[in-house]
Amino acid sequence: MTTVIKTTNLTKKYKNVYALKDVSINIEKGEIYGIVGKNGAGKSTLLKLLSGITEPTKGSVELFQETNLMEQRKRMASIVENPTLFGELSAKDNLEYFRIQRGVTDKNTINETLRQVGLDPDDKKQVKKYSVGMKQRLALALSLLTNPEVLILDEPTNGIDPVGIVEIRHLLQALNEEKNVTIIISSHILSSLANIAT
């Protein structure tokens, strides 16, 4: 197996408080890696460090067995903070904007990606009228636009009803099985990860 993410003694300290201390993990290609812990345990901090949103106080991160993280992060996508969605626009128009911003040249990607997450490409409804679950699906679609090899998701089922949770779980399993996408997913609820993490 190929290691896609490796951390060694990863530490993040804010003033005098450790958000994360000496975390060493090894994630292989094709895994669905679950991170579970109570609120405030450092899950989001770890995912922000892996995504490059914040820098470690100490320790190291290797991506795809490289230390040139800037280049390697192009092979990843994450939903770690609330993504910027344009409430006045439709889901399709949101994806069109981000497709251009991210340099994705294939326009067909938009319809395919929306269908992949269970959203109708022809729906003209403004995103501000979407339910929490639909916004989560759209955020997932945004992260899939660039065909990432690694997907990092911080509590992607928060605020979603039980049916939506099952649908997102199936979607992530399909991405993993069909496209061999490595997925790192966090939750404060063990049962939500027990059914998906490998």
The residue among 43, 7, 11 whose CA lies nearest residue 26 is 7
Show the tokens assigned to 35. 């991170």
Sign of CA dihedral 103, 107, 111, 113: negative
pLDDT of 50-91, one tens digit each? 988 889 999 999 999 988 788 888 899 998 877 789 999 999
- Class for domain 3-194, per CATH? alpha beta
Q: How far apart are CA 13 and CA 19, in angstroms?
A: 6
Q: How far apart are CA 8 and CA 34, in angstroms?
A: 18
pTM equals 0.88
To the nearest whole percent, how much of the chain has pLDDT over 90?
Answer: 49
Contact in structure between 150 and 110 (CB atoms under 8 Å):
no
pLDDT of 94-132, one tens digit each? 999 999 988 888 888 899 999 988 899 999 999 999 988
Q: How far apart are CA 99 and CA 35, in angstroms?
A: 30
Q: What are the residue boundaries of the structural domains of the chain, listed by start? A: 3-194
- Confidence band for 30, pLDDT divided at 50, 70 and 90: very high
